[in-house]
Amino acid sequence: MSRMPLSSPATEKHGLDAGSHTSSSRMNKETIELRHLRYFAAFCESGGTSEAAKRLGVAPTTVKRSIRELELLLNVKLLVRGSRTLTDSGKLMRTHANNVLKYLAVAMEALRSGNEAQPKGIV
């Protein structure tokens, strides 16, 4: 699967030029991190940046920056700026982000409780 660079004609067309974004030096420019999904899901669940930030224990600018990074990584707009409305892409991403976070929580619980499936046969 090929990946699009952060700055491409597609990103520029949608106003997502990476040049206008001050990215964190921690951010791998081709990888969606769990924090992106957590912050986006918290925004969707709480209905706003400030509310999500309080819930996560971070500054509102951190939530905004993370969502912006996610948009750049996906080359789509997830939010209608100036409102708390999700775009169609944002609605789809909300579903996928919640699924990933739920699956991770289930996996972590299974591993911690010792209920994980034991390998059978030759390993």
List per-residue pLDDT tens for the chain, 123 residues long: 343 444 444 444 444 444 444 444 454 568 999 999 999 999 999 989 999 999 999 999 999 999 999 999 999 999 998 888 999 999 999 999 999 999 999 999 999 988 666 555 565
What does the alpha-carbon distance between residue 74 and residue 68 come to, in Å, rounded to a whole number?
Answer: 10
Which one, of 52, 37, 54, 15, lies nearest residue 98 by Cα?
37
**79 in helix, strand or coil?**
strand
Q: What is the pLDDT of residues 4-26, one digit of tens each?
A: 444 444 444 444 444 444 444 45
Contact of 94 with 86, CB cutoff 8 Å: yes
Residue 62: other Cβ atoms inside 10 A: 17
Domains of the chain: which residue ranges?
9-104
- Please name the fold of domain 9-104: Arc Repressor Mutant, subunit A (1.10.10)
